Structure 1
Amino acid sequence: MTDATKTSPLAPAALQASLDVQGQAAQAALLPFALAAFGVCLPVFVWAASHAANAHWMSACFAGFAIGWAAFYAAVNWLRTPAAADPRRRGMAQLAGGIVWALAIGGVAAFAHEAGPARETLLMLALGAAMICVVFATPWLPSLLVVAPAALAGPVLALFARPESAELARLGLAAASLSLALALLVNRILRGQYALIAEREALLTERAEQAEAARRFARVKADLADSLSDELRDGLTGVAHILAAATRGRSAPSRPQLAAALDGVNDLLAIVGAPETSTPQAPGRRLRILMLEADTLGAATLRACLEQLGHQVVAATQAVRAVDLARICDLDLIVCGDPGAVAALRNLPGEAGRTPLAAVVDPEPRAAEAALAAGADALLRRPVAAPATARTIADALAAARAAQADVTSTSGLKAVEAA
């Protein structure tokens, strides 16, 4: 493990992957120049090989060299395709290309070993070609550790194969060892630079993520401010309309009108985080409530509020079904989310038509006025919440009791007058 790997804040696996990718990219950028370098060296080798005692084998050597050059050229072209984006496949291709060159150099060394007087010259040329291969394997450590020894092995072993070239063999080994040591040193420096680049990219990515998170948070704050502004504006408009409608009449505002205005004020106070005004609490006993709401989400929210308050809920999604249930069931309260069904529920015969009824209405003043005109005892504005629901239930029951008391009083007066 290098010093850059030890001191980097990145995870070791992520850092190693970045080092491999950068090393592969640097080596891939050098590979076209490797083709050019071997192309320049080829005429020199041809001239020296023409003086060899086994010159008739030179064509076979050239054939192997041409095959290796073609394979390497194909690998260089493949590295430019989208398929080379996979680091594992890319690394295998680059290692295979390096091994092809090492085998080609080994073939040249085998040819030079039997070249007679030109033997040592050709072997030194093969050793030079191997050193060029070491240079182009330097940027990526796995390639350097695999390809460089394979490329140097053929010429060095051929030099040591005969005693008369022992001095030259030692000189060649020293040169090969020096080139390999320098290549490892350069690779170490490059890996340090790769680590710095990886750390910089990680910091840039982190800053970009933080900037994106800040932008998202700013958008959420702006949306929340817009939503809050809309809620306050709509709520204040609804309260103003309710109070205006109440003041247009000759008599004092009715209890349902005042309750609707109070609900609106309390909802606004809940939005801004202020304590609500004191309101009547839900009755202590458990009520059997018929709930009519066609909207699925609205029905789920309303039912959750009613059950949270401890009441038993009989649910209906259609007005016809609600009317049938109200006719046959013994109910304590009806919570109606369909404005058109209020009149139908009120027109039921007997006690069913006198069941306390709370209408669930939208914030528009006309909806509240229409529900009250149809016979609703209290109003519950959307979106519903448990505190507002409790107040509405209490208001509906109180209004129904007051209406029943008025009916009883009127009946008693008529009876006295008749007597």
Structure 2
Amino acid sequence: MPPEIETTDALDRSVARQALDTQTSLLPHALAAFAVSLPFYVWAGSYAPNAVWMTGAFAIFAAAWGVFYIIVNWLKQPQNAANLRDRSRMHILAGLLWSVAVGQIAAFADGAGPARTPLLLISVAAAVMVIFFTSPWLPSLLIVGGATAAGPLYFLHGSDEDMTLANTAWGAIALALALALIVNRLLRRQFTLAAEREHLVSERASQTDQAQRLAQSKSDLLATLSHEIRNGLTGVAHVLSAAAGRNGRAAPSREQLLAALDAANDLLAVLNTTLDSETAEAGRLDVEREPFDALALLGDLVILNRPNAAAKGLELSLHIDPELSALQRGAAVADAHRVRQILANLLGNALKFTVRGRVEARAELTADGRLAIEIADTGPGLAREELEQAFEPFNRIARTSAGTSGAGLGLSLSRRLARLMGGELAAHSAVGVGSCFRLELPFDDMALAERSPSQPSEASAPGQAAAPEALQALRVLIAEDDALNAAMLRAVIEQLGHQVVHAVDGRRAVDLAGVCEFDLLMIDGRMPNLDGPAAIAAIRALDGARAAVPIVAVIGGDADEARECVASGADAVLRKPVSVNAVARAIAEAVAAEREDDRPPARLRLTGPSRTHS
């Protein structure tokens, strides 16, 4: 429902609530007014010749008063005030109860002989009172007021002798209705102003709470990143200092280099997870929903993590339900890369926190036809309160997380990703026994799964490129204005066996692409003189084969930047910070796209630590 419609409905409900509250506050006065009028009714009725009928009329009046008293007390109860539908029905019921009572008074008056005229006038006065007390709420005024006035007017027109009195009664009731409508209009205007004020106050309070949560989130983000960056960079700096030969130290050992590499990788993981979490928090994180082979993905992750498990003396096993394995068709319907991110985080946590025992990955179909993947471990386990805290952003359980790295964002981001894909991430745990995290995803039993190009083969090992198609040595032009980024990208490309030429800005890249032959161009998205999209468009406008050279856009992670580069003609998009896997995959995709004879218009292929979709 659009926000403006929701706001209008909320205002209408608030106006109705205030009208019912006002009418409820008048009902005790209505009881008092009818109680004060009872002696006049008894005095006039005492002149009626039919004593039995008069006694019955008094009994009906007393019964109506008693039931009305019960309804008034019901309406004043706080637990009944919130249900507007029930309150509306009770108000209408209470009003119609009095309309019946007034109608029987008029009927009794019609046969009361000498007391006929005063009793009919009393019934008209009672109808006017009912109209007054129903004026705050328009439905009650129109329904109850009209029903109450019908009885006295009908019996007044029953005798030609009372036509003058009947016309006077018509005027009195019409005037009462007109005044009641005016009062209702004025009250409704005040109710609307009060409702708008309530909405503004509520909206301001919501915005204040949101701003406070955002400020707290930024504070937690800054504190977490400061701690993780300081620790990671300190370790790397110590090793680099040793490698540079400062303070007379010997060259760093292999163990020191591996420790520095682990620290750098942990730091990159924290930064990437934080970026994804902040993007998700801002509502700008998109996911795809396509069929893919989740079992193959899970198997790849288990194979990749077995060396880590073996190093800790843990058993890492995979169990797939036989009924699920026997299916000839069927596939999970979600974003394969995001599912891989979730499962990698769950497996990584299980191996990180489990000291002894085993970690098991299980897959099965649920009773409602969804794919369930469980990661169970024999780690320290979590209490119920700790398990709830584990899914909160920037929250790490001190009892189990001492001495381990991380920003405390993995589980919260994983749950958010699962829900974006139409799934759910839940968990149960017991202290001293272990934990089990369960990811449920939509499953289409008629779909055909496709292997995600980012999934590594079983022969892949951690840190190695995902075996793309073998490529010959390429001549690669990189356009990057940042010297450090250019050095990192050049080192990765040369590590893959290619030759590199570096252009310091977009204008220089276009000039070089126009006079030299390159097999691939890697263009930064944001550069001085000529930015990435403009440079790509200029290269595509060149004459001859130079306009068709494969282009990989290297961006900082902005989705708009990625769309601009693809619209300008990029074949693939690579997100910073780059890795060997990501660069190899991006080069393979761009070259493969260039080799297709009738390839479709360029679509967004984003490779890197995290994906953004157009």
TM-score scaled to structure 1, two decimals? 0.62
Structure 1 residues 217 and 114, CA gap change in structure 2 (3 angstroms): same
Structure 1 residues 261 and 18, CA gap change in structure 2 (3 angstroms): closer
Structure 1 residues 16 and 258, CA gap change in structure 2 (3 angstroms): closer
Greater mean deviation of Cα atoms: 50-59 or 125-134: 50-59
* Structure 2 letter corresponding to 1:387: S
Structure 1 residues 237 and 101, CA gap change in structure 2 (3 angstroms): same
Q: Could you tell me which residue of structure 1 aligns to residue 157 of structure 2?
A: 160
Task: Tell me the CA shift for residue 271 of structure 1.
Answer: 8.1
Cα separation, 2, equivalents of 1:156 and 1:18: 36
Residue 143 of structure 1 pairs with residue 140 of structure 2: yes
* Structure 2 letter corresponding to 1:183: A
What secondary structure is seen at the aligned counterpart in 2 of 1:292?
Answer: helix
Residue 16 of structure 1 pairs with residue 12 of structure 2: yes
CA shift digits 1:295-317 (9 cap, x unpaired): 97468569xxxx9696644689x
Q: Could you tell me which residue of structure 1 aligns to residue 26 of structure 2?
A: 30
* Structure 2 letter corresponding to 1:292: P
- Retained in 2: the 8 A contact 1:309–1:386? no
Q: Could you tell me which residue of structure 1 aligns to residue 448 of structure 2?
A: none
Task: Tell me the CA shift for residue 233 of structure 1.
Answer: 2.2
Residue 217 of structure 1 pairs with residue 210 of structure 2: no
Q: If each structure's strand is expressed as a fraction of its own residues, which one has the higher value?
A: 2
Task: Tell me the CA shift for residue 95 of structure 1.
Answer: 0.4
CA shift digits 1:25-46 (9 cap, x unpaired): 1111111111111001101111
Pick from 47, 51, 55 the counterpart of residue 59 of structure 1: 55
Residue 49 of structure 1 pairs with residue 64 of structure 2: no
Structure 1 residues 99 and 313, CA gap change in structure 2 (3 angstroms): same
Cα separation, 2, equivalents of 1:51 and 1:231: 96
Structure 1 residues 109 and 33, CA gap change in structure 2 (3 angstroms): same
Q: Could you tell me which residue of structure 2 aligns to residue 118 of structure 1?
A: 115
CA shift digits 1:373-406 (9 cap, x unpaired): xxxxxxxxxxxx973899xxxxxxxxxxxxxxxx
Cα separation, 1, equivalents of 2:346 and 2:191: 60
Structure 1 residues 298 and 314, CA gap change in structure 2 (3 angstroms): farther
- Retained in 1: the 8 A contact 2:242–2:251? no
Cα separation, 2, equivalents of 1:145 and 1:36: 23
Task: Tell me the CA shift for residue 23 of structure 1.
Answer: 1.4
What secondary structure is seen at the aligned counterpart in 2 of 1:293?
Answer: helix
Task: Tell me the CA shift for residue 253 of structure 1.
Answer: 3.6
* Structure 2 letter corresponding to 1:21: R
Task: Tell me the CA shift for residue 106 of structure 1.
Answer: 0.7
* Structure 2 letter corresponding to 1:96: L
Residues 301-312 of structure 1 correspond to what in structure 2 (within 5 A)?
312=458
Cα separation, 1, equivalents of 2:96 and 2:304: 84
Task: Tell me the CA shift for residue 200 of structure 1.
Answer: 1.3
Cα separation, 1, equivalents of 2:221 and 2:176: 66
What is the RMSD computed on CA atoms of the aligned residues? Answer: 3.7
- Retained in 2: the 8 A contact 1:263–1:388? no
Structure 1 residues 88 and 242, CA gap change in structure 2 (3 angstroms): same
Gaps of 5+ in 1: 1-7, 274-287, 317-384, 391-419
* Structure 2 letter corresponding to 1:69: W
Cα separation, 2, equivalents of 1:118 and 1:157: 17
Q: Could you tell me which residue of structure 2 aligns to residue 293 of structure 1?
A: 308
Residues 262-411 of structure 1 correspond to what in structure 2 (within 5 A)?
291-294=306-309, 297=344, 312-313=458-459, 387=579
* Structure 1 letter corresponding to 2:99: A
Task: Tell me the CA shift for residue 162 of structure 1.
Answer: 0.6
Task: Tell me the CA shift for residue 157 of structure 1.
Answer: 1.4
Task: Tell me the CA shift for residue 181 of structure 1.
Answer: 1.0
CA shift digits 1:275-325 (9 cap, x unpaired): xxxxxxxxxxxxx988512397468569xxxx9696644689xxxxxxxxx
Cα separation, 2, equivalents of 1:203 and 1:24: 22
Cα separation, 1, equivalents of 2:157 and 2:304: 103
What secondary structure is seen at the aligned counterpart in 1 of 2:579?
Answer: helix
- Retained in 2: the 8 A contact 1:131–1:176? yes
Q: Could you tell me which residue of structure 1 aligns to residue 431 of structure 2?
A: none
* Structure 1 letter corresponding to 2:40: V
Q: Could you tell me which residue of structure 2 aligns to residue 132 of structure 1?
A: 129
Task: Tell me the CA shift for residue 218 of structure 1.
Answer: 0.3
Residues 218-257 of structure 1 correspond to what in structure 2 (within 5 A)?
218-239=215-236, 242=239, 251-254=250-253, 257=256
Q: Could you tell me which residue of structure 1 aligns to residue 183 of structure 2?
A: 186
Pick from 68, 71, 74 the counterpart of residue 67 of structure 2: 71
Bigger Rg, which one? 1
TM-score scaled to structure 2, two decimals? 0.43
- Retained in 2: the 8 A contact 1:293–1:299? no
Q: Could you tell me which residue of structure 1 aligns to residue 479 of structure 2?
A: none
Cα separation, 1, equivalents of 2:138 and 2:38: 27
Task: Tell me the CA shift for residue 232 of structure 1.
Answer: 2.4
Pick from 60, 67, 90 the counterpart of residue 93 of structure 1: 90
Q: Could you tell me which residue of structure 2 aligns to residue 402 of structure 1?
A: none
Structure 1 residues 157 and 265, CA gap change in structure 2 (3 angstroms): closer
Greater mean deviation of Cα atoms: 18-27 or 143-152: 18-27
CA shift digits 1:122-156 (9 cap, x unpaired): 11111111111111111111110111111111111
- Retained in 2: the 8 A contact 1:79–1:90? yes
Greater mean deviation of Cα atoms: 76-85 or 214-223: 76-85
- Retained in 1: the 8 A contact 2:102–2:126? yes
Greater mean deviation of Cα atoms: 197-206 or 99-108: 197-206
Cα separation, 1, equivalents of 2:34 and 2:218: 64
Count of aligned positions: 298
Cα separation, 1, equivalents of 2:581 and 2:263: 12
Structure 1 residues 86 and 261, CA gap change in structure 2 (3 angstroms): closer
- Retained in 2: the 8 A contact 1:55–1:115? no
Gaps of 5+ in 2: 273-302, 310-315, 317-342, 350-452, 463-576, 583-614
Which structure has more RCO (C-alpha within 8 Å, separation ≥ 6)? 1
Greater mean deviation of Cα atoms: 202-211 or 229-238: 229-238
Cα separation, 1, equivalents of 2:269 and 2:72: 69
What secondary structure is seen at the aligned counterpart in 1 of 2:64?
Answer: helix
Task: Tell me the CA shift for residue 172 of structure 1.
Answer: 1.0
Greater mean deviation of Cα atoms: 106-115 or 81-90: 81-90
Cα separation, 2, equivalents of 1:17 and 1:137: 18
Cα separation, 1, equivalents of 2:7 and 2:346: 51
* Structure 1 letter corresponding to 2:54: M
Q: If each structure's helix is expressed as a fraction of its own residues, which one has the higher value?
A: 1
Q: Could you tell me which residue of structure 2 aligns to residue 205 of structure 1?
A: 202
What secondary structure is seen at the aligned counterpart in 2 of 1:51?
Answer: coil
* Structure 1 letter corresponding to 2:118: T
